[in-house]
Structure 1
Amino acid sequence: MANRQRGDVLLTISRIGLHIYIAVTALFAVIVAGATIVILLDPKSNIFEGLASAPSFALPLIVVGAMVVLLTLFLSVLFAMQLGRIIGTVRTGDPFEPANAERLARMGWYALGATAGGWLASGIAFWLSQYFEELTVNFGAPCGGIVLAATVFILARVFRHGSAMRDDLIGTV
């Protein structure tokens, strides 16, 4: 059974996709951090003309927004890493191990945190958009992250129950 799972194309594609997602997310984090550093080093640059007409607290708000984005990206990477560990247990043929229930619970919290961070960053960007013509804000699906978190929390309970049932079955045999 384990050999069949190791050759599962979907699991392989999922693992590769997660690695790509983590790399792209890390690249985006480097870009956000770099842009924040550039803004801090030269806030009067031609690139940021809107800062001249913005209130004095716009620059600190941009930095706070960037930090929120970086935290959100970090939580997204943590989510993906936990999912990768779950995929690893599926590959070895033991997905109902107790650690996966804990991984799923952590993933639920990461999803909630990333959703809250996304809302906060969008709110900051929306406020800043009045000073920067180039800045557009797309709020996307505001409840998608909450639905994801709820689903993952429910799956964590299912995995806890499945793990307990498996342990009971092993104890009776």
Structure 2
Amino acid sequence: VGAIHGGIRHNIIPEKVEMIGTIRTFGDEQQALVHRRITEIITNIAESAGAKADVNIGKLYPSTVNPPELTAKVLPSVESAAGKGNVIAMPPVTGAEDFSFFQREKPGFFFFLGGMKKGGDPLITPSHHTPDFFIDESGFLLGVRTLSYLTVDYMEMNKK
């Protein structure tokens, strides 16, 4: 829940309260389950207090998932561009990313370039959309190199 709007004073029960936020999951089935359970729970809590809840859950982004076969194929290109010791296989994260729409049409490889301050720890560096986020633009050169290696190597792998 990113925002709660309701009421004007601490001792007056508001007529209406609105909560807005985001729901992120690792797949379509999990997303459907979470949406169904949230609707059931909110509706039942409201009814138990003699109130009514209107639950509106929009489905904005599907999950962004790299196909394992494609990842295995292109990982050597990424390691070649960045140096093997600089590539970290991350566990799934619940970011919302419109790249997922492209992956619904064609297999795609999504990766994080990084951009933390030199010497930072990638496991504790503040992420996007946080007050402490910082990007070191010198990492853009690595991004161009990595995309170039990926493109050339992928085209070589798929020559007909």
Same fold (TM over 0.5): no
Higher strand share: 2
**TM-score, scaled relative to structure 1:** 0.27
Structure that is richer in helix per residue? 1
Higher relative contact order (CA 8 A, sep 6+): 1
TM value normalised by structure 2: 0.29
